[in-house]
Structure 1
Amino acid sequence: MKLQYGATSALALGAALMATGASAIGIDRSNQDVTAIFEEGNVAELSFGRVFPDLSGKDRGLAGDYDNVGEEFNNFSASVKMDFGRGFSAALIADQPFGADILYEGDPGTTFFGGTSANLDSTALTLVGRYRINESFSLHAGVRRETLEGAITLSGRAYGPVFDGATPTLNGYAVDLDENSANGYVIGAAYEKPEIALRVALTYNSAIEHDFDTTESLAGNVVASGGTTTVKTPESWNLDMQTGIAANTLVFANIRYAAYEDTLVSPDFFAGATGGLSLTDIDDNYSAQIGLGRKFSDAFSGQIAVGVEPEGDERISPLDPTDGKGWVSLGGAYNMEAVTISGGIRYTKLGDASPQTRNPETGLREDRADFTDSSAVALGMSVAYRF
């Protein structure tokens, strides 16, 4: 069997939806995808996505509903891949690997989470090289420069009474983590059988440690500044697979595992007030996706994919009021010789969850809200140019 559906067609289709970050572990948004290194020939690609979440819930204090605490966001990625001969190639990849956009509306004096928010922005630049040992085996490795900045506010009755300048409380606590850049690396290997478009590639992404200049405040009054908060973004493993199953037809799958339990955010004042707790509480987890790609003509290809992230444990953070997810995506690509335009849509069903905090009086964790029937819709597109 000779497969006529090009391996690069699946990559072009998937890139548009990968940019949406609507279905990812923890604060993942790009899955740290480096599969651009496997494109055929010299290729430049630009991808854009926009995500429309619907995260609505009910306050356990019966103070009302939370109307969509998830804010809409964009995600971009770009790559340039070039061949240099003698089995060597390289790709420069820019993406936004991590992010958070959460805001609870409501009165912090009557609701459990009114005013609580989390914002995280990131960019990364990855230079990865590949060496083909022979037609079947190759190695790839590179360096990554990652930049992050963030801000978190804890607000509402779940964190104690409204701060009045005298009563110890975290209601009205805020922390700003100034922009910081740090370095990491990627390394991996792949096995291929080109005649059937078979490829199995495993990539390891190192943890990256950031030292943020930090300002902490209560009700707008600075309580600690000039300190440093050390935060690690997670190490992770990506397994990308594809194979032809018939002429013009390709099956693909990917699995990602990210070790988030070491991603702790514990600024000095907050740590002192809570006995060393972290503002974040994210489980290690994995996501898995499988899909089918089909070439309908020389100009047009399409794909469908389904995926899942299993539920975690019972600790649900108000900064991510979901537990597990499943999704389905549809995409298409139109090829105009040197230019390929891809687009797609993804629907994600987000698992029901009850965000928790510790009771300021008893120290025990208690459910503070209930989020049900949450979802997200993501739209993505990409343009690839071969030269």
Structure 2
Amino acid sequence: MKKIVTGIGALLATAAPVLAGGIERAPQSLAPLFENGNYAELSFGGVNPSVRGTDAAGFETGDVAQGYGFFGLAYKHQFTDNLSGAIIVEQPFGADVLYPIASSPVLGGTRVEVNSTTYTALLRYKFDNNFSVHGGVRGSHADGGVRLQGAGYATTSGYNLDIDGAWGVGWVAGVAYEMPEIAARVSLTYNSPIEHDFDMSESGGPLPITFKDQYTVKTPRSWTLEGQTGIAKDTLLFGSIRWVKWSEFDVDNLLFPIASPAGEIPLVELEDTTTYTIGVGRKFTDNWSGSVSFLYEPSEGDTVSPLAPVNGRKAVTLAAIYSMDNIKITTGINYTKLGDATLGVGPSGAKREVAKMDDSEAWGIGVRIGYSF
């Protein structure tokens, strides 16, 4: 059972979530903090999404989602029987969407790219009554760019936004309760929003000149409830509920939001998301364990932005864990059925339809190598 418990934290992040709500790619799990003793890990992998549909003029959009790779690092140190700490490096937010110019006259040429890396430093104090508290600081470095192109964007077609890299700082806090005799643990973690003061450059569209200034972008706050418990010999049930307040992810600059008679037109408008995961892990031999988990994220809202062209998802992840002495190797494969989406452009509550995306999916594969000492 110990090998399952120490490997289960890899399952939600090894085969990374694919095109999740907003621009989320990883769930910011704090699983390394709950490993036994001192622990270090390296994770890496890749994702191959396929997102396509038909624009409002009847043309195929082509595949608009670009593949990507990911990596992560973590180190956990046990200072005393009660006090431990961890450093976690990951890439929780990202986007790489490009509408081929030759395919769609409505959206062809539209592009969004977002890159981010976060560095989280944590402390955890475990009380004698099985409760523990954890918290720390998180630094985030991000950059990106947006280009709006095609007839769907009307007067804003040709608009280009370049966002230089910048740092932001937030915080993490949570509580957990454990019952080691049945391998049970429940944890609740809050991730604060992080504000980045970006240097941005805008040009094109209705803007006759290039304009440069500094603007603030806030990444969203979130709550994550994670749990696991033994349900039979060598068998573990686990799951999570994650809520992300994407509605506070704003990109405000000189041109956007645009005031119109029907209301303001934002550059990016995303809906809050709730994601549910449940799975079962089992130890087969002294060296081998495995698991299967299922994920469900319901669709939110009637229309979504062409810059985030999916709405909801269902996924299954299979993982195999090989343990030998102090080394643990987890390999996971993930299949995600991405929700059909209606893409809209315009003021909130009065968006005009520019495309419909359907039959979208993604495959992800990842490896995590952990070492306990």
Q: Tell me by how many angstroms 1:384 deviates.
A: 0.6
1:11 corresponds to which residue?
9
> Which position in structure 1 is the counterpart of 2:162?
176
Q: 1:100 aligns with which of 89, 95, 100?
A: 95
CA apart distance, 1:28 = 1.1
Partner of 1:342: 330
Size of the alignment, in residue pairs?
370
Letter in 1 for 2:246: Y
Residues 1:208 and 2:194 are matched in the alignment: yes
Give the aligned partner of residue 316 of structure 1. Answer: 304
Q: Following TM superposition, by how much is the alpha carbon of 1:369 offset from its aligned partner in structure 2, in angstroms? A: 1.2
% identical aligned pairs: 40
Matching residue of 1:192: 178
> What is the match of residue 288 of structure 1?
276
Return the letter of the residue paired with 2:82. Answer: G
* 1:263-297 Cα deviation digits (max 9, x unpaired): 11122123357675321111111101000000001
Whether contact under 8 Å (2:13, 2:26) holds in the other structure is no
Partner Cα distance (1:80, 1:89) in 2: 11
How far has the Cα of 1:69 moved from its partner? 0.1
Partner Cα separation in structure 1 for residue 117 and residue 56 of structure 2: 37
Whole-angstrom CA distance in 1 between matches of 2:161 and 2:13: 34
2:355 to 345, 369, 386: 369
Within the alignment, does 1:134 sit opposite 2:124 as a pair? no
Aligned to 1:35: 31
Q: How does 1:26-65 map to 2 (within 5 A)?
A: 26-62=22-58, 64-65=59-60
Amino acid at match of 1:9: G
- Equivalent-residue separation in structure 2 for 1:12 and 1:354 (angstroms): 33
Give the secondary structure class of the aligned counterpart of 1:319: coil
Among 64, 75, 80, the residue aligned to 1:80: 75
Unmatched tracts of structure 1, length 5 or more: 161-168
User: What is the CA–CA distance in structure 2 between the aligned matches of 1:212 and 1:288, rounded to whole Å?
Assistant: 33
Give the equivalent residue in structure 1 for 2:368. Answer: 382
Residue type of the alignment partner of 2:336: T
Matched position secondary structure for 2:341: coil
- Say if 1:91 and 1:128, in contact at 8 Å, map to a contact too: yes
The Cα of 1:147 is off from its aligned counterpart by 0.8
Alignment-derived partner of residue 118 in structure 1 = 112
Is the contact made by 1:202 and 1:238 (CA closer than 8 Å) also made in structure 2? yes
1:212-231 matches, cutoff 5 A: 212-218=198-204, 223-231=209-217
Superposition deviation, residue 364 in structure 1: 4.4
Query: Partner letter of residue 333 of structure 2?
Result: I
* Amino acid corresponding to residue 100 of structure 1 in structure 2: A
> SS of the residue aligned with 1:92?
strand
DSSP-derived class of the 1:66 partner:
coil
CA–CA separation in structure 2 for the residues paired with 1:15 and 1:173:
35
SS in 1 for 2:47: strand
Aligned with 1:300 (options 272, 284, 288) = 288
Does the CA-based 8 Å contact 1:21-1:75 persist in structure 2?
no
So what's the TM-score if we normalise by structure 2? 0.95
Structure 2: where are the runs of 5+ without partners? none
Residues 190 and 222 (structure 1), Cα distance of their counterparts in 2 relative to 1, 3 Å cut: farther
Inter-CA distance 338–200: structure 2 relative to 1 (3 Å threshold): same
Verify the 8 A CA contact 1:223 1:269 in the aligned structure 2. Answer: no
Matches for 1:209-288 after TM superposition, within 5 Å: 209-218=195-204, 223-272=209-258, 277-288=265-276
The secondary structure found in structure 2 opposite 1:355 is strand
Equivalent residues of 1:70, 1:103 under 8 A apart = yes
| Residue 320 (structure 1) shift | 1.4
2:355 and 2:274 map into 1 onto residues whose CA distance is: 26
